[in-house]
Structure 1
Amino acid sequence: MNFRLLLTFLLPSALLLSCGPDKHTARLSGQIKGVDQAAIIAYAPAESPADGGATDSIHLSRGAFSYDRPTQAPLLLTLVYPNYSTLTLIAVPGEEVHLSGEANRLKEVEISGGEENELLQGFRDGNHGRSEADIRRKAEAFIRSHPTRLAAVAVFLDIFAASEHPRYRPDGELLELLVKSQPDNAQLKQIAANLRPVFAVAEGAPLPKFSERTLSGGNITSEMLKGRAALIVFSGSWDGNNFRYVPTLNRLRRRFGARLSVVNVLLDTNAGQARDRAQRDSLSNAIYAAGEYESALARKLGVRYVPGCLLIDATGTVVARDIDPDRLEGAVEKVVR
């Protein structure tokens, strides 16, 4: 009788334990109200030797989902919601992370499960309705207070790395603080390698030194751009949005003349395409960057996408980057003397 009574208590507990993830698997589950059928993309923002997964699509049925990720160690995992907003969290083997929220308020989704994610949620609490500047200040304080925690890296990725307007300071400084505080974090090392060029040429940074040959046979260097405002434009013939910059560049050339230096970095598939486009669109100081995003110049200038640009003042300092074509003329007007 006592044995049967013992089984009565032990069996439900055993069944509950068996439903959890094993020690080599992290589980994500959740309920997003207001969603019928949709998908969330899950991917690691950088490779990790502990990660056994890939870029996956998590199917939502009536707003509910469950996803298992094989990993041997805690892993930074980024989720892309159906509205393309993102959330980075920490997937820990043997633990389950639960997300809950509403489809029309995805930035307020609550995270629970595990010490790191609870710390992360503590940062997220109260952010709704705050200005971007306030959230940046709060994020900087959080990272400086918790530089050894994965939650701090997740905050950095969502607030600073994902920003459309990265800054030389404090963004780059925070990245180096995290790397110094987490020397054994393989994911963070790769993240830093990818982001350093971006922050090194972000708003407030000095323009890196370079010397390049133009398609017309001339030479252009970073030193030649000092003393007046300069605009470096990145484009590629394979991108359908390049046409948006061309009329603006022509208008800037007519309006500002010699007071503005314009350099065009062409990330075309081959030199022939670049040369044809430079001639067709009257692109001045055209440089062909062989290798597209992996070219030495593109990496040195922190090119993230095309079309993009760097706006530099007369002292050689980056004052803005990747400005929308509709706002470009106004931005240039502020720095041209």
Structure 2
Amino acid sequence: MISRFLLSFLLPLGLLASCGPDKHTARLTGNIKGVDQAAIIAYASAESPADGGGTDSIRLSRGAFSYDRPVSEPMLLTLVYPNFSTLTLVAVPGEEVHLSGEANRLKEVEISGGEDNELLQGFRSGNHGRSEADIRRKAEAFIRSHPKSLAAVAVFLDIFASAERLRARPDGELLDLLVKSQPNNAQLKLIAAHLRPVFATAEGAKLPRLAERTLSGDTFTDEKLKGRCALVVFSASWDSSNYRLVSKLRTLRRRFGQRLAVVNVLMDTDEEKARTRAQRDSLTNAIYAPGEYESPLARKLGVRYVPGTLLVDAGGTIVARDIDVEHLEAEVEKVVR
């Protein structure tokens, strides 16, 4: 029989172990079957004044984990699994979110804990096996039905913002709806500020006005592209696949000549490296973008990847962007006459 003294000692320990996070902390726990030792990366979907954390590594031991993050108000937290797939959930101070699932079916991991996460799980249920187009339609309907919820923002980030090719409609329209419905959401405002230039240069949009100084000292403007098909290329010497891109640009130059204008936006770490590369690789209309992804030109053109591209038809409409190097020639062939 357990003595009264022992009970009096064990009871506080049990209460301490079972208590939830304090009012300034969001807790994330989980159990992923089929994992021995691994790590999940956790980061805020955009810098938030409510966030007291950074980019953290959550260690899994035999599939189990527990992670506390300081937060002052509900916010979005994105997880990156070992297979590089992502999941966005809602972290709420004073509440615990629990994940459960299997390592070989990470897209079906179940989320529980908190109203927004339960709503999010309701959307995720039944998605396995559906086509991408079907999931997008379901996500659009969900966001339009719950525009004031953080769950809707999480769905937007996972389904629309993470897509390889963003679209002005309905993607941009859904973002505008969320911002309008959640005017006090500081994190959402930052997300929108980052994504709006991308939507403004999505397929079907017009190429923005340009007036940029080239490395040769000239001023390049969008007026020089009138009536011509153009390929705007974003590249950098630090990109390991740059040599493949340069080889493909040479092929395009030989095949299409003056029928295709190529504009090179160089996102190297310094101007001297950009200048050396432009001369060595014979890059036409070479524009240096200091600050890389944060440069004004990169932000204006919605750069998300390096190498990246904007393919523009003779009418100034963006017909494709961020085309894989292997498919670049075939895509250019569709618009150059």
Tell me if structure 2 keeps the 8 A contact 1:169–1:204. no
Tell me if structure 2 keeps the 8 A contact 1:35–1:103. yes
Q: Does structure 1 residue 80 correspond to structure 2 residue 43?
A: no
User: Whole-Å Cα distance in 2 between the matches of residues 53 and 270 of structure 1?
Assistant: 31
- Equivalent position amino acid for 1:111 in 2: I
Alignment partner, residue 178 of structure 1: 178
Deviation per CA, 1:142-190: give whole Å up to 9, x if none. Answer: 1111110000000011111111111121111111111110011111111
Alignment partner, residue 140 of structure 1: 140
Give, in angstroms, the shift of residue 43 of structure 1: 0.8
Q: Does structure 1 residue 57 correspond to structure 2 residue 57?
A: yes
Alignment partner, residue 273 of structure 2: 273
Alignment partner, residue 167 of structure 1: 167
User: Whole-Å Cα distance in 1 between the matches of residues 102 and 129 of structure 2?
Assistant: 16
Alignment partner, residue 284 of structure 1: 284
- Consecutive aligned runs of 4 or more in structure 1 exceeding 6 Å deviation: none
Give, in angstroms, the shift of residue 17 of structure 1: 8.6
- Equivalent position amino acid for 1:244 in 2: R
Alignment partner, residue 109 of structure 2: 109
Deviation per CA, 1:116-166: give whole Å up to 9, x if none. Answer: 001001111111111211111111111111110000000011111111111
In structure 1, stretches of 5+ residues that fail to align are: none
How many residues are aligned here?
Answer: 330
User: Whole-Å Cα distance in 2 between the matches of residues 104 and 310 of structure 1?
Assistant: 36
Question: How high is the TM-score relative to the length of structure 1?
Answer: 0.93
Q: Does structure 1 residue 90 correspond to structure 2 residue 80?
A: no
- Equivalent position amino acid for 1:110 in 2: E
Give, in angstroms, the shift of residue 93 of structure 1: 1.4
Deviation per CA, 1:248-291: give whole Å up to 9, x if none. Answer: 11111111112111111111223222221111111111111222
Greater alpha carbon shift after TM alignment, 221-230 vs 160-169: 221-230
SS at match of 1:251: helix
Alignment partner, residue 129 of structure 2: 129
Deviation per CA, 1:233-261: give whole Å up to 9, x if none. Answer: 01111222211111111111111112111
Q: Does structure 1 residue 36 correspond to structure 2 residue 26?
A: no
Q: CA 1:55–1:291 in 2, change beyond 3 Å: closer, same or farther?
A: closer
Q: Does structure 1 residue 250 correspond to structure 2 residue 244?
A: no
Equivalent pairs: percent with the same residue? 79
User: Whole-Å Cα distance in 2 between the matches of residues 62 and 74 of structure 1?
Assistant: 29
User: Whole-Å Cα distance in 2 between the matches of residues 253 and 86 of structure 1?
Assistant: 39
Alignment partner, residue 197 of structure 1: 197
The two structures, once aligned, show a CA RMSD in angstroms of: 1.9
Alignment partner, residue 153 of structure 2: 153
Alignment partner, residue 303 of structure 1: 303
Alignment partner, residue 188 of structure 1: 188
Give, in angstroms, the shift of residue 18 of structure 1: 5.0
Deviation per CA, 1:172-230: give whole Å up to 9, x if none. Answer: 11111111100111111111111111111111211110111222233321122131211
Give, in angstroms, the shift of residue 16 of structure 1: 7.4
Alignment partner, residue 228 of structure 1: 228
Give, in angstroms, the shift of residue 92 of structure 1: 1.1
SS at match of 1:54: coil
